[in-house]
Structures are given as C-alpha cells and as structure tokens.
Structure 1
Amino acid sequence: MARTTHTVTNQPPPLVGYDVFAADRVLTSAVERHTPPELFTEVQGDLSALGRAAGSAQVQEWGAQANDNPPGLRTHDRFGNRIDEVEFHPAWHRLLGKGVAAGLTNAWHRPAGHVRRAAGFLVWTQVEAGNGCPLSMTHAAVPALRADPALAAEWEPRLTSMVYDRELRPAHLKAGAVFGMGMTEKQGGSDVRANTTAARPLAEDGTYELTGHKWFCSAPMSDGFLVLAQAPGGLTCFLVPRVLADGTRNVFLLQRLKDKLGNRSNASAEVEFDGTWARRVGDEGAGVRTIIGMVAATRLDCVLGSAGLMRQAVAQAVHHTAHREAFGGRLLDKPLMRNVLADLALESEAATTLGLRLAAAYDDGGEQELAFLRLAVPTAKYWVTKRCSTVAVEAAECLGGNGYVEESGLPRLVRESPLNSVWEGAGNIQALDVLRALRREPQALNAFLVEVGKVRGADHRLDGAMKNLLVELADLDGIEGRARRLVERMALVLQGVLLVRYAPPEVADAFCASRLGGDWGATFGTLPPSLDLASIVERARPTA
C-alpha cells in the first residue's frame, strides 16, 4: 500500500555534488577581474577545490550537524576545578579546520590574498556561517597587532598559519592559532568609550591586569583575544591569551553562552576578567584607533558573509524552480516567478560584485584605494547586510511550504541573515560612521566620487542618481536624521556603477531601471517586464 500511494514525484533533487565556486558566474568573473593574469589559474584551482568541498554531501552534512548541535559550556571539571571550556560538535572543528587550511585566515602574505580569501569566505559561508566568526576575527586581528611590531612578529605567523590546532595550550607550542574579540559591555554596547573594564599596569613593561566584564565575547574557545579596557591613559587595546606561557590557564571566566536567534554553531559568551593577564597593543588611550583596523576588516567580512548567504538563498530558489513543475510547466518559466528570481539575482550579484571590489582595494593598498575603503566599507556594510534578510525570506517563499521546513536549509539562512547587520555595529552605527568620514576626511569622499564617476554618461538613470546624491552630499547640516537614506543612495549608486562597468548589459540595465530609475515596487518581483529577465535568471542558476 505504501509503495503504491507514496510515490515521490515532482520534487527537485538536492543541490549537492557541485562546485560552489565554479557554479557562481558572478563570483568567478569577479575573481578573474581582480586577480593578476599570471595568478588566476592558481587562484581558480584553489577556490574550485574549496568550492567542490562546499558542494559535497559530506561537508553539507557537517554544516547541518554543527547547526543542530550547538556548543556547550563546561565551567568546571569533575573535581570542581574551574576550566571554562566550550565543547563543540566534531563537525564544527572539521569545518573550521578546512576553512583555516583553505587560507581563510591568511590574506596578508599572499599575492591577491584579499581577493582570493574574500571569494573563499563567500563560498565557505554557504556551508555553515557560524565558523566564519573565528575565521574572520583571526584574519582581522593582524592589522591591529601591527600597532606593536614585537607582538605582530610573535603572533602573526600563528594567525596566518594554514594549520588548525584545537588544543588549549600555550600559543608558542602551537602550529596555528585563532583569535576572538571582546569590545562591548552591558552598560555601553556600541559606545565602547563607556567601557568600565579596568587595566592596572604590572611590573613588566607593557603588561597589565584586567578586571571587568565583556557582554559579548565572540569565539571564546580561541587562543587569544583583542579586548578594550580603561588603562590609566584611557581606553586601550589589549591582547589576552587564553593560556599563559607557563601552561596555566589565564583568568577567563565564561559566565554563560548566548542563546542566539541564528549562528547557533558558533559560541558567543559573557566573560569576566578578575586579575586577567594582558599585553598592551599600541599606546594607552589609543584603543579605538588601534582596533579600528580589525573592525574595518570584520565589517568587510560582514558584507562578504551576507553576499554568501544571499548567493546560497538565490541558488536554492533557482535550483528548486528549475526542477519543480506547476500549472503546466516549470516554475522557472512562469513570468511572475521569473520576475521574482531575477530581482533576487540582481541583489545577489550587486552584493558579490561590491564585496570583491572592496577586497581588491585591500590588495592594492594604495593611498587612493584606502581612502575609498574608508567610506565604501561602512556604506556597503550598512546596505548589503540589510538586504540579506529580505533576500533570504523571499527566496524561502520561492520554495513554498518546503522553504519553511528545516530540512530545506532555508530556515537556517533566514535565521542567520540578520546577524551581519548587527555584528560590528548595527545600521545606525554604520550610517554615523559614514557621516563622520564625510565631515572629517575629505580624501575619502574624493576617492568615492572618483570611483562613481568612472562611468558617467553610460546610463541616464545612473547619471540622475549621481546628480541627486551630489545634491545630498552638498548639504550636511542636520543630516543625521536622514543619514540612512543618504547611505542607502551611496550604496545603490556604487553598486550601479560597478554593474555598469562589469556586469552583462541586461543585468546593469535591470539594476539601474529598478534601483535607480524608480520603476520598482516595495517587494521583489516588480521589475519592468520589458527587461531580459530570463538571461538574468539563467546567469544566477547554479550549474554542476
């Protein structure tokens, strides 16, 4: 009876057994565009190897296992000794180990390192986003540590190592190390200058004893942490090792793990310091200036992580509708569904293109490109991370009821999607940072305007949006209340410029018509029907 009534038909095959990198036309094009020709074959090979792993059934199962088995806190051992350890499912360690081995913490010492790492981070995020947190912070700690050349010489080789060593032991005995971060406190949040954690100088120069707390400490199983505390000279950055050089545990008291909406495979903790040993990084009172390099790098990873989530959501939606039939034909071929999918694909392509352009600016490292990043990073962080949630929810709807079921994987993407808009400063913080740069750093605005001016005259809708943006930028008095609108316009103009420069004409046309030309509704699926939507959707379709 069951075999007769339970025949399964009209269900799409799982999207598995494919190269996540090679199947992404937008990402492969961006990597080729921003990689020196003599390196492209090598970079492409490395990224395809990671892409095949990401698309394999085994690694996708690891992602599901890590998500379904969140970390647990062990404050004491069986004898009552305080140990403050976090236990993870083996799948978590496998994922993190593969990410480290793929060079996702090593952008600083390889040619085109930031572009290849950005593409790899975008690919690996699609498996399970939780392990992206320690990968991101380990990578991003390097510029902060360089404020102290001696510390950088000691720690940088460990952080950029492609060996994952999960054991808790002194860092000098390890082949590789991972880093976490603790900035926010319960009374201050993003206002880190309100931090109350105190740093008392010790006899040895540059060493301190910390007393206080951190409301959010990311990746508390890490080997070291960059934290902010109040030294006699003001707010200062410190390195807190998890295990001291003599093998004893540093005082690093894990009070509890956060019960989060998403990102459940990754641990976030509340931490108490009580006579905790620390090394100063940079000068006393220069804590924000010292750690800002880390913050900028992790903000870029928020953009890349969101772009990866968007790509996976769109890939799943296009794959499903390409194999699912309803009302006499494939869902993919229905005009209204095609409109929704094309609209989602535009958002994903714009996010990926912008993220890789920012990574290329890091690789360049010139004065003009660094000035461009000063405005472009918070602008992109604000906009791309905000768009991620709407894309994930709409993509899940493309699967109908199946998209609301955990086995589809879409609910995990939906829960994960708001994280990057909150991490490293929520939307208002990013908008205010843009205003700060506009007022204080004219070279940043100049670099931004040079970038967006490269295609002037190529599209009348883009030209009109640029003109309106210049009017907004000319009047910064009382602008804080409309800062979000300004930053949104800056992001859309920048994305439009990049798509006009680099994307196929049908993609750039559709983006400019909808996002900049005003012919767009409040929801996805309201693109002008005269556009070449079929080509846009086919470009977004993941191919094995």
Structure 2
Amino acid sequence: MTLTHEVFNQSEPLVDYNLFDTHRALRDALRFNAPQLQVAPLRSLGAQLGSAEMQAHARLANVHPPQLITHDRFGRRVDQVEFHPSYHALMSAAVAAGLHGTPWGQPPGPETSPHVLRAAGFMLFTELEPSILCPISMTYAVTPGLRGNAAVHAEWAPKLHSRWYDPALKSFREKAGLTMGMGMTEKQGGSDVRANTTQAVREGSDAWGERYALTGHKWFFSAPMCDAFLVLAQAPAGLSCFFLPRVLQGGSLNALRIQRLKDKLGNKANASSEVEFLGASAWLVGEEGRGIPQILEMGTLTRLDCSLGTSGLMRQAVALALNHTAQRQAFGKPLIEQPLMKNVLADLALESEAATALAIRLARAFDRQDDAHERLMARILTPVAKFWICKRGSHLAQEAMECLGGNGYVEEGGQGVMARIYREMPLNSIWEGAGNIMAIDLLRALRKGDAAAAFAQELAPARGQHAALDRLVDSLPTRVEAMATEAEARRLAQDVALALQAGLLVQHAPAAVHSAFVASRIGGDWGHAFGTLGRGLDLDAIIRRAMPVA
C-alpha cells in the first residue's frame, strides 16, 4: 500500500471564532457613531456566524446553487426556485437577526440605533456568506417605499418586520414573515430605467388601490422567490412604481413567468433571473408617472448595503490572509513576520478599516433623518461610499488572495472561501449603479444643499492632526463649487471618500492607523499597489489590531 506524504506547514482553517469580538475596527466605529448602542446581539451573532456549522451552510449553499422549476410533472406552470436546505438555514439566521425589514418597525433612539445595529449585523453576515443577503437587502430597502400605498403597507409591513422566515410559495395571509424584491432593469435600458418598455394598463381599483395589468419583462430580476416586488412600468402618465405579489389574494399564482436563472460570476447561492409579465396584476405605489423618485428611495438603501457588504467581504479577506500568514512558514519564519509581507498585510488592514469606518458612518445618517445635516450627509455619502469602497474591494481581494498563494485560488470541495470572496467582489460595484452612475449621482447630491458647509462641519473634529489631510479638506469647497463637468466626477468622489475616511479614522482609530492611512492615501507616500507603505509606520500595531484571533 502506498502511503501519502505527511502534511505539514499548512494553515488551520479560521473557524469557531467570534466575528464581532475580533473586529476591533467595527467595535470602535460603533462606539463612535452609536455610543449607547447595546451590542450584545452583535456579540451573539458574531459567535454564531463564526461557527463551523454556519460555515458549512455557507459552503453548501454555494456548492448546490438554486435550480429553476418552471413546470410540475403534470405540465402545469409553477415557476418555482428550489434551494439547498443550507440556503434556507442561512436565510432563517439573517431574518432572525433582523437584517431585513426589522429596523423600520423599531423606534430610533441612542440605545437602539436600529439602522446602525442592522448595518453592523449585515456586515458581519457578509463575512460568512454574502449572496443570500440579496433578498434580505431588498426587503430592507423596499419596506419604507410601500408607504406610497397605505393599504398595502398596512397589511404587509408587520410581516416584513417579522423575524420569522417562511420560504413557502403561498398567500401572504398564511405566512408569519415575508420578503420582497424589486425589478427595474430591462434588456434595452440597463441603468437607464427611463428606457423601460413594460406597459401598465389600468384595470380598476380595490382595497389595495389602483390595480393595473403589467405586460413586459425584466432582464435582471434578483431573488424571484420573494413574496412580492416593487417594479417599474410605463403607465399613461409615465414611468410608475407598482407592487406586484407572486401569489394573488385568492391564492392563485400571479402571471409572472421566470424564463431562466442567470449564470453569474459569483453570488452563486442567490437566484437572479429573467422574467416576463403576461398581464400580471400590480397595484400603484405613489403617484402615476413618479416611479423613478419612488424607486430611487429604495436604491439609496441598497447602495448603503453595497458599501456594508463590500466592507464585510474586505474584512473577511484580510482575516483569512492574516490567519494564513500567521501559521505558514517560509524562509525560516512565519510569513507574517517577513518584512515585505508585513507591509502588504498592514496596507490591506488599513483599507479594510477605512471602509468599515465610512460604511458605519453612512448607516448612522439613516438613524438621524430628523437632522438636516444627517439627511444631507446620507444623500452625499451614499454615492461616495458605494463608489469608493466597492471599487477598492476587488483590488483588496486580489492582493489578499495572493497572500495565500495557490491555496487562495483553489475552490476544491467548495472550501475556497477566498476564491468565493474574489468572485463576489465586483457585484456590489455593478449592482444598483456602477461607478459612473455613482459619480454622477454625487454631482446631483452636491446641488441639493450646502455641501461645502456640510463637509466643513463633518471634518472639523479631524483638523489639525495631519497637514496633508488639512490641505485636502481645504481644497474641497472650491472643487465642489467649480465642478461643472462629469468628466472630473470620479476624482472628486475619490477625494471626498478619502477625506471622510481619514477624518473618521483620526477620531476613532489608534494613531498608528490614521497616521499610516493619511501618509499613504493622502500624503502621497504610497505606490500603486498594496504593500508600498512608507518608512516609519507602526506596521506591527496595525496588524495586531486587525488579527481575527489572539
């Protein structure tokens, strides 16, 4: 019998640890943005998400992707999506944690800060498995939008707030918990939703208001197994927003046909589809002809989740890189002690912490919408955070994967978590508006209020710590006022993001972190790749802070 060679110098998996307790950057960001927040639920969630059991569910949900069943064995149209049991286990955990519509059913306050609490939980869950969070995110985003139809909102909102997950395809009246999605994109339009051709013909009215029949299609219709959707269609007065349930009140299936599921680069556990409406029943939400403003409110919230999700993926990529390099020996000592690897790891940790800081700051704005400054910051920070954090995510994932070498590139048995992260990273940059859309949206936001004054107020506490940061802050008002062309919008979005990230790190991160971030990202002592931090920085302190285990 031939014996295999002895296996040694391979790192042990990062498993059975608490994602929250070991995420120092997140804990400090929460103390700064919501100092009275009760974090016990996050500590409990962090332990659950770091467990071997939940990691197995994440693996299985990706190894066994959803399958479309268009007809039953008798030839009847059923339009159902079948999932592995691990998908449902993950969905149950996310709903139980209140990561979907739950915050909208809670009164805001300093001790609850429901949107910040939910943001932190969403970020932690992304470290475990991001793709199942698509229907979770959409349910969060569309719940307040239903207020545009008071009758539907009154019946559906309590179950959208519920912490009970029920995947069955049946009437909403028979379910304790509901999920919702949205459908905007069509083949010919992409981000230009004004080009939509789906037609809405008014049929009458009932207890839910004005009822229409929708005929047309959606090219990207994510999470088609949700209980209902908010969709855009052309009504006589123009593009309008409609509520479209999967199952009608009498128990019959609505005329929504799932054509096929998308074969995507990543996001494998989530079903994304192409659908057709064949006279599907839908109810008007908001005013006819005002569909874009109505649905943009939802887009703002899903863009928040893009920033949170990418930040969570960045944190997990860095944690995996640190875990591996702390155990793997090369040239006589652990990789993490090699000077050049130390530079790379510290640089990655800086990027991850800065993303966390900006994303949680954005979430804070949604808990304080009664404050004029916070409303303006939500409008400005949303495109800035989505643009910059999501752009940086893919670069970070590639470098973190390189820290693992060939082991990071392998997906054997579905255990290649780093490879899964790498494939997932581009999605948040594309979904809900790619980079150009975000940069242009920033220009629109800057015209909504006194942006220069808002930046000055936001960054005032950080002034006087770093000369390079002060110079950048001083330049922003002039650049904002002079911004007349879209061609410069990406540069402005980048610099606003860097200024805000640095300002936040100065206020709630250790000196080793904010000094290195400002010197590299703003002061110019940095190359064009990770691992090019300059001399004199405390790399050891940065790495210790980011370690996922003691």
Report the TM range for the smaller structure's normalisation. Answer: over 0.9
Matched, 1:426 2:444: no
Match of 2:380 in 1: 375
Match of 2:356 in 1: 352
Match of 2:471 in 1: 464
Give secondary structure in 2 for the equivalent of 1:121: helix
Tell me, which stretches of 5 or more residues in structure 2 are unaligned? Answer: 107-111
CA distance in 1, matches of 2:481, 2:443: 12
Q: What whole-Å deviation, never above 9, does each CA across 1:382-418 have from its counterpart, x for those lacking one?
A: 0000100011110000011111111331111100010
Matched, 1:306 2:313: no
Matched, 1:54 2:49: yes
Q: CA deviation at 1:35?
A: 2.9
Within the candidate set 259, 275, 287, 2:263 is matched to 259
Matched, 1:69 2:75: no
Give secondary structure in 1 for the equivalent of 2:244: strand
Q: CA deviation at 1:431?
A: 0.5
Matched, 1:537 2:546: no
Match of 1:524 in 2: 530
CA distance in 1, matches of 2:416, 2:155: 45
Q: CA deviation at 1:465?
A: 1.4
Q: What whole-Å deviation, never above 9, does each CA across 1:209-229 have from its counterpart, x for those lacking one?
A: 101100001100000001011
Q: What whole-Å deviation, never above 9, does each CA across 1:140-188 have from its counterpart, x for those lacking one?
A: 1122112233322221111111000111111122101001110010011
Matched, 1:238 2:242: yes
Match of 2:392 in 1: 387
Q: What whole-Å deviation, never above 9, does each CA across 1:452-491 have from its counterpart, x for those lacking one?
A: 23322221110111233333223122x2112111111111
Farther-moved stretch of structure 1 (461-470 vs 297-306): 461-470
Q: Is the 8 A contact 1:21 1:123 kept in 2?
A: yes
Q: Is the 8 A contact 1:223 1:242 kept in 2?
A: yes
Residue type matched to 1:390 in 2? H
Match of 1:148 in 2: 149
Residue type matched to 1:368 in 2? H
CA distance in 1, matches of 2:451, 2:302: 19
Match of 2:93 in 1: 98
Q: What whole-Å deviation, never above 9, does each CA across 1:26-48 have from its counterpart, x for those lacking one?
A: 112222333353x42xxx22111
Match of 1:10 in 2: 9
Matched, 1:139 2:140: yes
For 1:130-529, what aligned pairs fall within 5 Å after superposition? 130-204=131-205, 205-365=209-369, 366-406=371-411, 407-438=415-446, 440-477=447-484, 479-529=485-535
Tell me, which stretches of 5 or more residues in structure 1 are unaligned? Answer: none
CA distance in 2, matches of 1:399, 1:497: 32
Q: CA deviation at 1:203?
A: 1.6
Q: Is the 8 A contact 1:369 1:447 kept in 2?
A: no
Residue type matched to 1:411 in 2? A
Q: CA deviation at 1:6?
A: 1.8
Name the CA shift for 1:138/1:445 in 2 (closer, same or farther; >3 Å): farther
Q: What whole-Å deviation, never above 9, does each CA across 1:285-321 have from its counterpart, x for those lacking one?
A: 1111111221111000000000000000000001111
Residue type matched to 2:454 in 1? A
Count of residue correspondences:
537
CA distance in 1, matches of 2:133, 2:250: 30
Match of 1:107 in 2: 103
CA distance in 2, matches of 1:131, 1:286: 31
Q: Is the 8 A contact 1:313 1:395 kept in 2?
A: yes
CA distance in 1, matches of 2:521, 2:539: 15
Q: Is the 8 A contact 2:28 2:509 kept in 1?
A: no
| TM-score, with structure 2 as normaliser | 0.96
Match of 2:109 in 1: none
CA distance in 2, matches of 1:463, 1:32: 25
Q: CA deviation at 1:443?
A: 3.6
Name the CA shift for 1:36/1:455 in 2 (closer, same or farther; >3 Å): closer
Q: Is the 8 A contact 1:303 1:355 kept in 2?
A: yes
CA distance in 1, matches of 2:2, 2:329: 24
Q: What whole-Å deviation, never above 9, does each CA across 1:100-159 have from its counterpart, x for those lacking one?
A: 001111122332111111111001111111111011001111221122333222211111
Q: Is the 8 A contact 1:375 1:445 kept in 2?
A: no
Match of 1:123 in 2: 124
Name the CA shift for 1:69/1:191 in 2 (closer, same or farther; >3 Å): same
CA distance in 1, matches of 2:347, 2:477: 27
| TM-score, with structure 1 as normaliser | 0.97
Give secondary structure in 2 for the equivalent of 1:418: helix
Q: What whole-Å deviation, never above 9, does each CA across 1:74-107 have from its counterpart, x for those lacking one?
A: 1111111111111111111110111000111112
Residue type matched to 1:316 in 2? L
Q: Is the 8 A contact 1:74 1:84 kept in 2?
A: yes
Q: Is the 8 A contact 2:452 2:480 kept in 1?
A: no
CA distance in 2, matches of 1:148, 1:79: 38
CA distance in 1, matches of 2:157, 2:461: 37
Residue type matched to 1:47 in 2? L
CA distance in 1, matches of 2:2, 2:494: 55
Q: CA deviation at 1:2?
A: 5.5
Q: Is the 8 A contact 1:70 1:88 kept in 2?
A: yes
Q: What whole-Å deviation, never above 9, does each CA across 1:401-439 have from its counterpart, x for those lacking one?
A: 11111133111110001000000000000001011122x
Q: Is the 8 A contact 2:239 2:291 kept in 1?
A: yes
Root-mean-square deviation (CA), in Å?
1.3
CA distance in 2, matches of 1:525, 1:268: 37
Matched, 1:86 2:113: no
Residue type matched to 2:424 in 1? E
Q: Is the 8 A contact 1:372 1:445 kept in 2?
A: no
Identity %: 54
Match of 1:25 in 2: 24
